Amino acid sequence: MRGADYVVRRTGAALLTVFVAITLNFVLFRAVPGSAITALRCFHCTKQFKAALEQELGLNQSMWQQYTIYLGSLAEGDLGTSFTDHRSVWQNLKEPIMNTLPMLVIATVISVVIGVAAGVLSAWRRGTRTDRLNTWTALSFYAMPTQWIGLMVVFYIALRFGFPVAGIRDPTLGILEEPSTWTVIADRLRHLALPALTLGIGLYGEYALIVRSSMLETLGEDYVLTARAKGLKNFNIVWRHGLRNAMLPLVTLIALSFGYILAGAIVIEEVFSYPGIGLAVINAIDQRDYPVLQGAFLLLTFAVIFFNFVADLLYFKLDPRVTA
Amino acid sequence: MTIEALPPAGPGGGLPATDPAPVAGTTSRGVLRQLVLGDRQAAFGSLVLAIFIALALAAPIISPYSPRGKVGPVYAPPSSEHLLGLDDGGIDMLTLLIWGARVSLLVGFAASLMAMLIGGTVGILSGYLGGRTDTVLMRITDYFLVIPDVPLMIVAAAIWGQSLLNIVIIIAVIYWTSTARLIRAQVKSVREQVYVKRARALGAGNIRLIAKHVLPQVTPLLVANTVLTVATAIFAETYIAFLGLGDPSQISWGKLIQNSLSGGAIFSDAWWAIVPPGVCVTLVILACTMVGQSMEDALNPRLKVGHLSVHRFRLRRPPLKAGAE
């Protein structure tokens, strides 16, 4: 079978990367000046309490012992316990992750739709004013700091059109009466719309540029010329013959830029006070809650490694020219 | 990229892209000349960059007010005395922007210089020595490519403290990878050039070969890449500052954006505190991208049709030669 070898090798590489990420995560958090405990922001903690905490977390053991303990608990799916509320890190992060996911999905859909439309238009009208305007717009959005786009969206759209600018649900919902499922969903979407739109706008520029250059390549291919000679309609040439092949770089790019999408999500959640993984990370920093920070960082790294792996596989699957 | 667009391979049999054929502007000076005279986009980019650099350098002389002193009511709107109004501390916005340029550009240039040093060294060693060194170095590069950059910056800034130097180091340590890959590819092909082989046959040592023959060939590309990295670094700085992990005593554009959120500029209807810092960042990033891209294009005409130079901040290139390793 074509590529079984390739898949095995890629999987091996991904697993190795995961292992390195775990080790790096361990080293990074043990490299805190002093120890994680002294850095803990806790004004009424006594010396005894801190010593006890150190004992509990095993920070007084040798590095190697700590490392094996860390690996062991990770293998059991234990990410540690939060300093601040003593719940497990996973419990702390589960809900934020579930809140962030729909935002990422909607944002990606928005950015792909705008990006493909703009890119195809630009490529089709290449060299014209439309193309230049389009490319410049895309480049500019691509150069804007995501959090700033968020602030602009809040300032010029949310406040003027009455969108909620903080949180994930209307706090008054469900006080007077049990809300219907539809009200809950509508409320959720209203809170989701602008963060997702912001992230989508921040991402679309790059997608548009990639689609444009990839479309230009495809439109120069012989089979497009053949299609045109056959007298096919422009629409068919562009969408059926052109875009289908031009989508390849985009599909892998989306998977590859997952780390970037996450980065945007983190700052956007801060702007909109959206209780997702980004806000969880920021709160963990504020409270110097290292276990939560460490757990979140590890999960984010895993996600990025996973999507890189997916990108590799997709690229292989979609482009028969890639050899195993 | 279409095959027909390529010039015929040189007699040395090397790749056309790396053939030291006299393409206009393969030397540093040629590139500069071409930039200023030939390319409108690059000329515009250089102009914008030059203006901002001049503003940053001359900040103590030209800034109308002190960047720390309260000169009027909180969020006073723009007036003839304060062209861009006042911020949440009653400080002149225009002054803050000029002083912010200093830190933002300093972080941008320092971090990308450092990234260039790391990436250039790794790329040259990897491409020149090849073999096991190459494998190990490229593996390391691959790991750095996979680590989610912004979360790592957050964690590192949170752990190691919030000084300007730390931020520069963190950004450099994260963004050297694409430079390393690019330079490695370039060095690999330069190494196989006939004149390099000839010099080796004449008894030139590795150090001499790298210094005299390889380095001059990759330097322009390295410079172009550095300019592009400046954009990335400034972008990254705004993220760090926005998350409250920047140096609290320094004014940067990222910090100004953060101030406008934390100071409640949105609810005070103070557009002058929100819009300008973002516009400055966008302009500088656009300018760097334009200059860097034009340099890359001038140096390597083959890239023109490819999409290598379109990407920067986000694109990790797909594994074109997957399995060829």
Q: State the nearest Cα–Cα gap between A62 and chain B, in angstroms.
A: 21
Proportion of chain B above pLDDT 70, given as a percent:
80
Instruction: Give the CA count within 13 Å in the CB-facing half-sphere of B162.
Output: 16
Q: Which of B214, B237, B221 minimizes the C-alpha distance to B284?
A: B237
B243 touches chain A (CB under 8 A): yes
What is the average pLDDT across A24-29?
A: 81
Question: Which has more pLDDT, B131 or A33?
Answer: B131
Contact B305 A217 (CB under 8 A): yes
Q: Is the pLDDT of residue B114 over 90?
A: yes
Q: Using pLDDT thresholds of 50, 70 and 90, give the confidence band for residue A40.
A: low
Contact B152 A316 (CB under 8 A): no
In angstroms, rounded to a whole number, what is the distance separating the alpha carbons of residues B29 and B31? 5
A225 touches chain B (CB under 8 A): no
Q: Using pLDDT thresholds of 50, 70 and 90, give the confidence band for residue A268.
A: very high
Q: Is the pLDDT of residue A171 over 80?
A: no
Report pLDDT for B26.
Answer: 53
Contact B310 A209 (CB under 8 A): yes
What is the average pLDDT across A190-216?
A: 90
Strand segments (E) across A261-307: none
Region class of B250: left (phi > 0), else alpha (psi between -120 and 50), else beta: beta
* Nearest CB neighbour to B242, from listed A17, A209, A267: A267
Alpha carbon separation from B146 to A255, A308, B112 (Å, rounded) = 12, 7, 19
Contact A315 B281 (CB under 8 A): no
Contact A21 B152 (CB under 8 A): no
Q: Do residues B170 and B154 lie in contact, with contact meaning Cβ atoms separated by under 8 Å?
A: no
What is the average pLDDT across A86-108?
A: 90
Q: Is the pLDDT of residue B5 over 60?
A: no
Q: Which of B275, B254, B261, B292 minimizes the C-alpha distance to B85?
A: B275
Contact A217 B1 (CB under 8 A): yes
Q: Do residues B315 and A253 lie in contact, with contact meaning Cβ atoms separated by under 8 Å?
A: yes
Averaged confidence pLDDT in chain B: 79
- Minimum CA–CA partner of A20 in chain B: B143
The ipTM estimated for the assembled molecules is 0.83
SS3 label, residue A88: strand
Proportion of chain A above pLDDT 90, given as a percent:
19
* Nearest CB neighbour to A154, from listed B235, B266, B324: B266
* Nearest CB neighbour to B239, from listed A263, A308, A323: A263
Report pLDDT for B90.
Answer: 82
Q: Is the pLDDT of residue B96 over 50?
A: yes
Instruction: Give the CA count within 13 Å in the CB-facing half-sphere of A172.
Output: 1
DSSP B77: P
Q: Using pLDDT thresholds of 50, 70 and 90, give the confidence band for residue B322.
A: very low
What is the average pLDDT across B154-164?
A: 80
What residues in A contact B266, CB-CB < 8 Å? Answer: 151, 154-155, 159, 165
What residues in B contact A10, CB-CB < 8 Å? Answer: 322
